[in-house]
């Protein structure tokens, strides 16, 4: 696929986990793409397969138990699933990097920041010659970029000596130190307080916009998605149920699940709390037939129980996988 406008293209990806008693069908035939320089959100509730999808992109799923029976993941036109170890390492070093939800767990408590940050940089410049000084310089720059004061002192400290917000900044600095083209941010602000989250997200946005990095935000916070992204995918139980530009998604959500999700967010303007979505997320061992959302859907029809809906085009930037829109499309 030469000259693709997309940095990342996931086609018909399926991920299963082999467990005692069968296979968990966690990611169920999804299509997903990110354009160059685009900020994309992936929203869904706990256990809907967001993180599994992202781990598949980095090819870091433990296999077994995970199996990928079907699908392609193209990064700049090359299929990640078919790469050899060398190529993969190059992609992970300079192509794609990731920020994790919990900065406390992402940093190793027994190594200093310098050792950890230095390792990332050494790995990416991939040189055998003694480049200690260069690595040190680049570590300092990486910390300065994320607005951390006194980087020399910070490099010598250990993760436990830093506050949560500082740790997350270090993680962001580490992820961006290698100059990646695609950044995956897995709930980057969730474990932080709202004022610190605001600082960290503003910083992250500034950095990716300066460097024109493509970003995937994985989150369950719709507020963060609205502030940070250009386009949103909504995921439910391993399926992408709706995709639209962020504006359209919030102005006019179409899928019953998206509507339910948006209505349950408590508003600053008041008006009480909506009743939520009935039922619970399905069992992946025996997911519901047809549309996986049908047991919880208020506008369920007969066809939903038998057939899996495909993504219907509502307009150029808005697709929804729901039979309600079959005629409209």
Partner 1 sequence: MNEILTVTDLKKYFEVGQSGLFNKNSTMVKAIDGISFSVLEGETLGLVGESGSGKSTVAYTTVGMYAPTSGSIKFKGTDLFDKDGKRSLASKKNIQIVYQDPSSSLNPRQTIKDILEMPLRLHQPEKNTLEQTIRLLDLVGMPPEYMYKNPHMLSGGEKQIIAVARALATDPSLVILDEPTSALDVSVQAKMINLLLDLQKKLNLSYLFITHDLSLMRNVATRVAIMYLGKICEIADTSDFFQKPLHPYTQMLLSSIPVISDAEEAMKPKKVISKGEIPSPVNIPNGCSFNTRCPFVEDICLKVDPVMVNQGNNGHMVRCHLFSKNIQ
Least separation in angstroms between residue 93's CB and partner 1 is: 32
Cα gap 234→98, rounded to integer Å: 20
Cα gap 170→113, rounded to integer Å: 8
Least separation in angstroms between residue 202's CB and partner 1 is: 8
Q: Of 58 and 200, which has the nearer Cβ to partner 1?
A: 200
DSSP codes, 107-145? S-TTS-HHHHHHHHHHHHHT--S--HHHHHHHHHHHHHH
Least separation in angstroms between residue 156's CB and partner 1 is: 20
Least separation in angstroms between residue 152's CB and partner 1 is: 20
Q: Of 145 and 181, which has the nearer Cβ to partner 1?
A: 145
Least separation in angstroms between residue 53's CB and partner 1 is: 18
Instruction: Return the ∠ at Cα 310 (arms to 306 and 312), rounded to 5°.
Output: 130
How is the beta sheet containing 22-35 ordered, strand by strand?
Answer: 22-35, 6-19, 66-75, 78-79
Q: Of 31 and 199, which has the nearer Cβ to partner 1?
A: 199
CB-based contact 209:229 (threshold 8 Å): no
Least separation in angstroms between residue 21's CB and partner 1 is: 16
Least separation in angstroms between residue 321's CB and partner 1 is: 19
Q: Of 37 and 164, which has the nearer Cβ to partner 1?
A: 164
Least separation in angstroms between residue 1's CB and partner 1 is: 35
Q: Of 161 and 307, which has the nearer Cβ to partner 1?
A: 161
Q: Of 125 and 164, which has the nearer Cβ to partner 1?
A: 164
Cα gap 295→47, rounded to integer Å: 17
Tokens representing residue 97 in the block: 């990097």
Bridging pattern class, strands 231-236 and 214-219: unpaired
Cα gap 208→241, rounded to integer Å: 27
* Phi, psi dihedrals of residue 94, rounded to the nearest 5°: -110, -20
DSSP letter for 4, please: -
DSSP letter for 295, please: G
CB-based contact 138:117 (threshold 8 Å): no
Cα gap 182→78, rounded to integer Å: 14
Chain centroid to Cα 157, Å, comes to: 29
Q: Of 59 and 296, which has the nearer Cβ to partner 1?
A: 296
Cα gap 130→144, rounded to integer Å: 24
Residue pointed to by tokens 């900020």: 39
Binding site for partner 1 (CB under 8 A): 45-46, 163-166, 193-199, 201, 220-224, 226-227, 250, 260-262, 264-277, 280
Q: Of 86 and 275, which has the nearer Cβ to partner 1?
A: 275
């Amino acid at each position: 696929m030469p000259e693709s406008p997309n940095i990342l293209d996931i086609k018909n990806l399926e991920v299963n986990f082999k467990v005692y008693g069968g296979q968990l069908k966690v990611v169920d035939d999804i299509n997903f793409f990110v354009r160059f320089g685009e900020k994309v959100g992936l929203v869904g509730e706990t256990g809907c397969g967001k993180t599994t999808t992202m781990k598949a992109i980095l090819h870091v799923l433990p296999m077994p138990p995970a199996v990928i029976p079907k699908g392609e993941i193209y990064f700049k036109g090359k299929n990640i699933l078919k790469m050899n170890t060398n190529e993969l390492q190059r992609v992970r070093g300079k192509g794609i990097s990731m920020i994790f939800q919990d900065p406390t767990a992402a940093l190793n408590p027994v190594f200093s920041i310098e050792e950890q940050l230095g390792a990332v940089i050494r790995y990416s410049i991939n040189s055998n010659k003694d480049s200690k000084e260069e690595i040190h310089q680049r570590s300092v720059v990486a910390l300065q970029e994320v607005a951390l004061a006194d980087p020399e002192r910070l490099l010598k400290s250990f993760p436990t000596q830093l506050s949560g917000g500082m740790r997350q900044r270090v993680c962001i600095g580490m992820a961006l130190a290698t100059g990646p083209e695609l950044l995956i941010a897995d709930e980057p602000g969730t474990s932080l307080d709202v004022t610190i989250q605001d600082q960290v997200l503003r910083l992250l946005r500034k950095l990716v916009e300066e460097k024109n990095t493509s970003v995937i935000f994985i989150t369950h916070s719709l507020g963060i998605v609205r502030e940070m992204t250009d386009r949103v995918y909504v995921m439910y139980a391993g399926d992408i149920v709706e995709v639209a530009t962020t504006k359209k998604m919030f102005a006019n959500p179409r899928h019953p699940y998206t509507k339910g999700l948006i209505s349950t967010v408590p508003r600053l303007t008041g008006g009480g709390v909506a009743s939520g979505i009935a039922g619970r997320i399905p069992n992946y061992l025996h997911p519901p037939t047809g549309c996986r959302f049908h047991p919880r859907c208020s506008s369920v029809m007969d066809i939903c129980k038998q057939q899996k809906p495909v993504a219907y085009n509502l307009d150029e930037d808005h697709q929804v996988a729901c039979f309600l829109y079959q005629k409209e499309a």
